Structure 1
Amino acid sequence: MKNNTSNNNTKLILLHPYIQKQGTSHRLWLLAFLSFFTLAFLLTLIYTRQSTALTTSATVTATAINHHHPTPLPDPVLKALLHYASTPNATATADHMSAADLKTISAALRQCPAPCNLLVFGLSHETLLWNALNHRGRTVFIDENRYYAAYFEEQNPEIEAYDVQYTTKLSETGDLIATARELSRNECRPVQNLLFSDCKLGLNDLPNQLYELDWDVILVDGPRGYWADAPGRVSAIFTAAVLARSKKGGNAKTHVFVHDFNTEVDRVSSEEFLCKENLVKAKGRLGHFVLERMEEGSFQFCRNRTTALPVPASSS
């Protein structure tokens, strides 16, 4: 009886083949969907990276082009800067440059191969102007007053300024030039690296990098002072002359401007080391020279030297 009851209660369950195929079909569709989604994601990722790389490359290329060929200041901006820099005001002094002098120096900067390297001896009323006119170039200022240079940089972070210690005296200008003549084949030669120079007229305590630059325009508008114990500008003029003649690359010519060229000591110092044959124009208080680099082993600043040694006045 137990066996019969067991047999009667047994149930047979059969799975239809369609149900198995339906589960397999769903899995295949799911697999296909995931594969498609993964492929689309990978293609999108690759495309995005390529687009980003191309955009970055284009940006870098454009930046490089602008660096090597910087856009000059528009003429209206240039004229406005020159106008307001030369317009007299309540605080104007005799140290300010005239409009004619500003335009002369500005013209040289406009003709300068880009990017232009401008070296200025002296922080002055025109300092911000020179930095603005040398748009996207490098402008470096040298001043004899350590505290003023630091203060000026703090107030104007875009300005690059360094202080230098002058060891000369205005009253000794004649003796300094005579000594430089005697040492023109040794310590005071026209082509050298001033960083290692023992010539008293050469400034050798500037940052090392400045001696490696090829300066396109140099303006001597400092140090300040025209009394007997003031340093005078003979050292700055000598340094400018050597830097211009010792260029290693870039443009072979360097424009050198000397402000207060009308004073005897500055005129004589300029004619001694920048030379009359290189004088382009001298009008009012500005002397404009154009110097060409010399070969290593050159020992003569000027082809013809007829300058008499100066007798500096006690004041000016």
Structure 2
Amino acid sequence: MTYNELNAIASVLHQCHDPCNFLVFGLTHETLLWNSLNHNGVTVFIDQSSFLVSQLEGKHLNIEAYDVRFTTRVSDLYDLIDLYKEKVRDECRPVQNLLFSDCELAVNDMPNHIYDIEWDVILVDGPSGYSSEAPGRMSAIFTAGVLARNKKDRAKKTHVFVHDAGREVERVCSFEFLCKENLVKCVDSLAHFAVERMESNLFEFCANSISSSFEELATSDDFFDGEE
């Protein structure tokens, strides 16, 4: 990440009135930094690689990390979006217990206690999304959106950061599950959203429906308009 991207996340962590609950999708060069910056809080890392998780935990006993199997592929993006739209009032609704979810986009095999934590900050910087066969970050962004809306405390928004937000998967899924109206700012290739709790009887992730096609959103520059 760039200095500006690192600083944007660090600033939000610093502003937590209580110790932050910080969920990170992806093990990266910044992993140790995130754990250090949130030293009084709960920091949990989720990654696709069991090897990297075991290697990290072997060297750093104070780090909590888990491997998760992501079953999606970047090339399946629009098929998955279509499936989600068919099931948004059922398996893929925005407020649900993800542990028991049958939605194709849900990450439902994290340790049980992960779903019970009130997450203050979520960073989506994994899994890998650099090729059509890579798992992509569709499930991580969907899951972040649901975890934020499941929060019990209405007064506290969940800050969700999506790295590489200019890429097609990240851009389309951020618009769909985190929503343009929740966009705080974009810094370089990092998008920052603040997502509120939602009532369980609502079935639309975004208050303002997206009028453009997903293909148009994937190539649009509007996502970063006016943001530095």
Fold shared, TM-score > 0.5 on shorter chain = yes
Match of 1:265 among 169, 194, 216: 169
More helix by share: 1
Structure 1 residue 198 displacement after superposition: 0.4
Structure 2 SS opposite 1:103: helix
The residue type paired with residue 289 of structure 1 is F
Q: In structure 1, what is the equivalent of residue 226 of structure 2?
A: none
Unaligned runs of 5+ in 1: 1-96
Structure 1 residue 250 displacement after superposition: 7.7
Q: In structure 1, what is the equivalent of residue 223 of structure 2?
A: none
Structure 1 residue 310 displacement after superposition: 4.3
- Quickly say closer, same or farther: Cα 1:218–1:164, change in 2 above 3 A: same
Unaligned runs of 5+ in 2: 220-228
Structure 1 residue 212 displacement after superposition: 0.4
The residue type paired with residue 284 of structure 1 is D
Asked if 1:245 is matched to 2:149, the reply is yes
The residue type paired with residue 100 of structure 1 is N
Asked if 1:159 is matched to 2:63, the reply is yes
Output aligned runs, 1:157-196, within 5 Å: 157-196=61-100
- Contact 2:74 2:135 (C-alpha < 8 Å) held by counterparts: yes
- Quickly say closer, same or farther: Cα 1:303–1:146, change in 2 above 3 A: same
Rg (Cα) greater in structure:
1
Structure 1 SS opposite 2:80: helix
Structure 1 residue 297 displacement after superposition: 1.8
Structure 1 residue 147 displacement after superposition: 1.2
Asked if 1:141 is matched to 2:45, the reply is yes
Asked if 1:223 is matched to 2:223, the reply is no
Aligned CA-pair RMSD: 1.6
Structure 1 SS opposite 2:214: coil
- Contact 1:262 1:284 (C-alpha < 8 Å) held by counterparts: no
The Cα offsets for residues 203-255 of structure 1, whole Å up to 9 and x where unpaired, read as 00000001000000000000023211111101100000000000124853000
- Quickly say closer, same or farther: Cα 1:283–1:308, change in 2 above 3 A: farther
Structure 1 residue 279 displacement after superposition: 0.4
Provide runs of 4+ in structure 1 moved above 6 Å: none
Per the normalisation by structure 2, the TM-score is 0.91
- Quickly say closer, same or farther: Cα 1:192–1:246, change in 2 above 3 A: same
Higher relative contact order (CA 8 A, sep 6+): 2
Give % identity.
58
- Contact 2:4 2:187 (C-alpha < 8 Å) held by counterparts: no
- Contact 1:187 1:198 (C-alpha < 8 Å) held by counterparts: yes
- Count of matched residue pairs: 217
Output aligned runs, 1:1-316, within 5 Å: 97-249=1-153, 251-306=155-210, 307-310=212-215
- Contact 1:173 1:310 (C-alpha < 8 Å) held by counterparts: no
Per the normalisation by structure 1, the TM-score is 0.66
The Cα offsets for residues 29-57 of structure 1, whole Å up to 9 and x where unpaired, read as xxxxxxxxxxxxxxxxxxxxxxxxxxxxx
Structure 1 residue 282 displacement after superposition: 1.5
